[in-house]
Structure 1
């Protein structure tokens, strides 16, 4: 078969209708990208944790958030804490650039996708998270040595309710997933690697400023609608589906697994995966350029070279996916280890889940009162009705009947593990 190049990219293997031809076909890439967006909406709507009033906790990320955003003891401790997380950020940036990117990925493993400075900002970002986590434990050690500082110990609890955190996560995953899907759409309509696909659509997309106008108008319009729907509870999923095919922990865990797999498939379906060595230049979505380049200010007497921030469309796209992966991994973890009592919830008849919404009531709950039997037979003196009438009914199911950690010794879920007042 004759081999030829299109815009510098070998396409002979894409003309042979083998597995890779169909796996990386524009229709396959579009279907996977938009299915991820749909599945993320579905799991957010079905997840009972989205309605929980208990504190949100996210492994590693929660430590980083608490380290920077809250739990300040006051006085000189504030100065020490700010100094330590600033030092952690600087250390993470330098370690990510020189230790992980250049030494480990570049020289030791010789990964071509990280050649020269490619992908350095993404590596530096995750390295910064790692060092913030490490320095938060060093800071905790200082607090423990001092004593009587347990309320300010940095842990995975973020100081906000699960309900609010899940709304923020839903908006974040929407932005990440839809922008990724929209960027994949933009790349498919710009490229010619499959010349027989979407000829009229590609011609319209490339004409004048059509792609730029359509990208921003669709993105801004849909994002505005999604943010309003999520933050205001304007649309209630439970009222819409009325228990049609209700989910449980197992089905939600499988759904979260599919989301993680599809996130990785988006990267694997790239025409230059895994080396990303092609010289194909695709313009950034919504922009008439294929890269972003920012020149950093420098002092010529101190620094001999001029430094610039250079981000290509490919790394911009996949950097967003890796950020969304953090939220999707947390969602997966929540479904696997779901315990209703840990989230101020309990299982009622038909294995349906109920959520305690009253914060004052939730503070006093324990494993003997956070269950259907107690809340359906005891009267709330404030309303003269059983407690279950004040709880939120969900069509989602829970097979794990455990109400609470047996080691709580009768302490309410909002007082466990040093949880502070919530937002």
Structure 2
């Protein structure tokens, strides 16, 4: 049973309801009472201050302590953890940022955030195959070293970051723009459950809050606030990831960027700008690990093992990937060398003798819709919109099934919001 009185939880909940979850005003008002939330509540309830606007005065009168208790009781009934600003378990890094959340809602305990290096990973929703590959490798390897991966629960880079952290045996946190029970993005309920089982889904909003435009910008301060640093793997000039980078800089956090595979592409223009402005270039997860070798009082053994990473790991730096991408582009520009008639006939003969037939994965335990999805993408990469139309299924339901198929290792996402079999 949640103790609403402990650490003044109900008063912090009241403050958030009265002023709004992301409003800075509550902290300005609270400062007049030496940050004593109980004294603030009593003074505002009794009308003992004239620093409120008319709208704020109406809100304060309409929000009662009983209403705050009801909201907290709803969370308790649904096994949602609630952390007030003074609560044990409230992420310590958040207390040090400007405008921290007065209350934080979570689908699980946040104790695992203590004394751990934490990295936020953000980027494009319509991520390139290169960016997804980079995100996968970095997050998977960081997770294996005990680093917590934080992202925003959206499609593209966010989804890849969460999945790869879990695949690496680590913990991950999704910071939402809406409440933790909001079905946003649509069709991601199963994926959020998957994250909750391997970390937590968190928000500053009370249950039942559907996200609005400004909520995502406000959310970013929390995403970066609980981290030691933030990694951007792909961002255009207008990408929301740049807002996260801005929050990180203002909070004194490290900003990491993976160099773009194509410096002429607008899809990476935001990353290029960040690198010019002093962001730390990352060619491998090792660059981030070395930055935090001593973070959170890690043991000497950890630091010693970490110093051996460059000698013992086989994973190449992403500089190698850049060279591969360059060679691909160069080879694509060259005219293919014409085969002789004899070479062509020999190749055809070999193909007829040893045909390369694609293998259908085992679908015996899948739902009927999942089986149809596998059949639909059996021959190649298909965009989600095409799948939705072809199978006559709602896009939100389709994404839910695709997410589960990804977890099972049967399909994988590709560039342009498309999917293919994981062969």
Above 0.5 in TM-score?
Answer: no
RCO (CA 8 Å, sep 6+): is it higher in 1 or 2?
Answer: 1
Q: Which has the higher helix share?
A: 1
